[in-house]
Amino acid sequence: MKIKIFGAHGLESTETKFMSLLIDEVLALDAGALAAGLSFSDQEKIKAVLLSHSHADHAMGLASFAMRTFVDGSTVEVYALKETGDALTTHVFNGVIDPEFTRKPATEKPALRFHVLETYKPQVIAGYTVLAFPVHHSVPAVGYQVTSAEGKSVLYSGDTGPGLPSHWEYLHPDLLIFDCAGSNRWSARAPGLGHMTPELLKPELIEFRQRKGYLPPVILVHMFPLWENEITEEVVELAGELDAEISLGYEGMKVEV
- The whole-model pTM stands at 0.96
Domains and CATH numbers, the chain: 2-250 (3.60.15.10)
The Cα 3–Cα 24 span in angstroms is 6
For each of the chain's 257 residues, which pLDDT tens digit applies? Answer: 999 999 999 999 999 999 999 999 999 999 999 988 889 999 999 999 999 999 999 999 999 999 999 999 999 999 999 999 999 999 999 999 999 999 999 999 999 999 999 999 999 999 999 999 999 999 999 999 999 999 999 999 999 999 998 899 999 999 999 999 999 999 999 999 999 999 999 999 999 999 999 999 999 999 999 999 999 999 999 999 999 999 999 999 999 99
Q: Give the DSSP letter string of 88-143.
A: HHHHTSSSSSS--TTTSS-TTS-SEEEEE--TT--EEETTEEEEEEE---SSS-EE
**Position 91: which residue type?**
H
